[in-house]
A and B are shown apart, each in its own frame.
Chain A
Amino acid sequence: MLEALNLECVRGERRLFAGVGFRLEGGEMLYLQGRNGSGKTSMLRMLCGLTQPASGEIRWRDRPIGKLGDDFRAELCYLGHLNAIKEELTPLENLLASARLAEDALDEDAALDALEMVGLRGREDLACRYLSQGQKRRVALARLVHERRALWVLDEPYVALDTAAVELVAGLIGAHLQRGGLAVLTTHQTVEVRAGAVRELRLG
């Protein structure tokens, strides 16, 4: 389903990687590994279409993602290392707003349910500015609870989370793979995902 052919990444004058390729089918997960600065985040941004590769091509369902455009983005869920939550809004408002902007149908009950799952029940009406780093990350990850898009691209999803939350996210990813979804993620932690086939790719 997702295929990367001969990708090359150049940042500034430096070539971070070249000739990288992989193919990922439904139910499979790809761990991107590599030291800091090896181009993991650049790779993820390329997979989303945010950055253009210096050469090479990314294909989704056998068609280049540049040509698919909105059709590809409708199947993509990207979670960057920035949380993409608004400090002034409450977790509930953040979740509903991001769903609306991504054109996902998410009603208030489902959003509350997602917040409960990530352990933020009782904080849903508190502006995010008052939350801790880990709690903010949980707000961002609450999106995944009801996310049914086929491709998840997650940049360091486990950062700032405690062990219980890491387990929870691993469980969400596992359930996603079981539904036949794909996931690409970077992490420096070894976390076991108990479903789907896990593949690894080391950059640099």
Chain B
Amino acid sequence: MFALIRAVVGRDLRLAMRRQADIVSALFFFIIVVSLFPLGIGPEPDLLRKLAPGVLWVAALLATMLSLPRLFADDHRDGTLEQLALAPQPLGLVVLGKVLAHWLVSGLPLALLAPVLGIQFDLDADALWVLTGALLIGTPALSGIGAIGAALTLGVRGGGVLLSLLVLPLYIPVLIFGAGAVDATVTGMGAQAHLSLLGALALGGLFFAPWATAAALRIALE
């Protein structure tokens, strides 16, 4: 079971390394969107501190969305997806591997970059730690939920827009608790409750999303 997940993750990471432009462009998108806000709003530390959690999280959601359409599309186009569906293991495990690989190349770098960008919003050290932690916990949920949307829109013309319409509403809970965690730290109430809920969302997402995605993929393959 773990051998299969490892094989999928290994293959997807290798492919991602050969196509670094995709990873880098999503990261630059994140950096630019976040950096535009302080420039547009002007040097008002109080206001920026208040906006920071929301801005960073919304930018993270959008950056994650950028790489989602290709999650299954390439495999679908070259026939690899059929082979994966015919592997003598549940398709859900394959999907879990792909979700993990997606998180490693999209969610993880976002989380690691976020504290640097947070400085632009005058966030203090505690808030930066919580921001990184919240992104580390929350982005796996984004990859998991996103996979369902990516599978449902597989092979649909203009699927990218449809994908955003499907997935972004589902991201709302992650956004609320993720941004809430940082907000709570800034205002001095602990982030514990928010982070716990975020963790629950991530675990739930990683557990259920692969099966829903696998069902959607089987329909797409028919």
Chain B window 84-117, contacts with chain A (Cβ cutoff 8 Å), 1 for yes, 0 for no: 1111111000100000000000000000000000
B82–A82 contact, CB under 8 A? yes
| Given known A-B contacts A52-B222, A70-B88, A73-B86, A101 and B4 have beta carbons under 8 A apart | yes
**Distance, CA A86 to CA B221, complexed state (A):** 18
CB distance from A4 to the nearest CB of B (A): 18
CB < 8 Å: which of B3, B19, B77, B86 contacts A88? B19
Interface of A is mostly: loop
A84–B78 contact, CB under 8 A? yes
Chain B residues within an 8 Å CB radius of A25: none
Chain B residues within an 8 Å CB radius of A70: 88-90
Chain A residues within an 8 Å CB radius of B79: 80-84
Most buried by B among A52, A71, A78: A78
Chain B residues within an 8 Å CB radius of A133: none
B7–A100 contact, CB under 8 A? yes
Whether B192 is near chain A, meaning CB under 8 Å from some CB there, is no
Interface of B is mostly: helix
Chain A residues within an 8 Å CB radius of B84: 101
| Given known A-B contacts A51-B222, A89-B15, A93-B14, A103 and B85 have beta carbons under 8 A apart | no
B82–A74 contact, CB under 8 A? no
| Given known A-B contacts A50-B221, A89-B14, A97-B11, A103 and B78 have beta carbons under 8 A apart | no
Whether A185 is near chain B, meaning CB under 8 Å from some CB there, is no
| Given known A-B contacts A93-B14, A97-B11, A103-B88, A85 and B82 have beta carbons under 8 A apart | no
B82–A86 contact, CB under 8 A? no
Chain A residues within an 8 Å CB radius of B157: none
A78–B86 contact, CB under 8 A? yes
**Smallest Cβ-Cβ distance to B7: which chain A residue:** A100
CB distance from A186 to the nearest CB of B (A): 15
A87–B78 contact, CB under 8 A? yes
B83–A50 contact, CB under 8 A? no
Q: How many A-B contacts if CB must be within 8 Å? A: 78
| Given known A-B contacts A88-B19, A89-B18, A101-B84, A50 and B78 have beta carbons under 8 A apart | no
Interface size on A, residues (CB 8 A): 29
Whether B8 is near chain A, meaning CB under 8 Å from some CB there, is yes
Q: Which parts of B52-95 form the interface with A (CB within 8 Å)?
A: 77-80, 82-90, 94
B88–A74 contact, CB under 8 A? yes
**Smallest Cβ-Cβ distance to A153: which chain B residue:** B86
Chain A residues within an 8 Å CB radius of B8: 101
**Smallest Cβ-Cβ distance to B97: which chain A residue:** A101
CB distance from A48 to the nearest CB of B (A): 6
B83–A83 contact, CB under 8 A? no
**Smallest Cβ-Cβ distance to A140: which chain B residue:** B79
B83–A98 contact, CB under 8 A? yes
CB distance from A176 to the nearest CB of B (A): 18
| Given known A-B contacts A50-B82, A80-B82, A84-B78, A101 and B88 have beta carbons under 8 A apart | no
CB distance from B158 to the nearest CB of A (A): 21
Whether A177 is near chain B, meaning CB under 8 Å from some CB there, is no
Chain B residues within an 8 Å CB radius of A52: 222
Chain A window 43-84, contacts with chain B (Cβ cutoff 8 Å), 1 for yes, 0 for no: 000001111100000000000000000110110101011111
Residues of B within 8 A of A (CB): 3-4, 7-8, 10-11, 14-15, 18-19, 77-80, 82-90, 94, 221-222
Identify 14 residue pairs between A and B in the complex whose beta-carbon atoms are under 8 Å apart, listed by A's number: A50-B85, A50-B221, A51-B222, A70-B90, A74-B88, A78-B82, A82-B77, A83-B79, A86-B15, A101-B7, A101-B83, A101-B87, A102-B83, A103-B87
14 additional A-B residue pairs with CB within 8 Å, beyond A51-B222, A98-B80, A100-B7: A50-B85, A70-B90, A78-B83, A80-B82, A82-B78, A83-B79, A88-B18, A88-B19, A89-B15, A101-B7, A101-B83, A101-B94, A102-B83, A102-B88
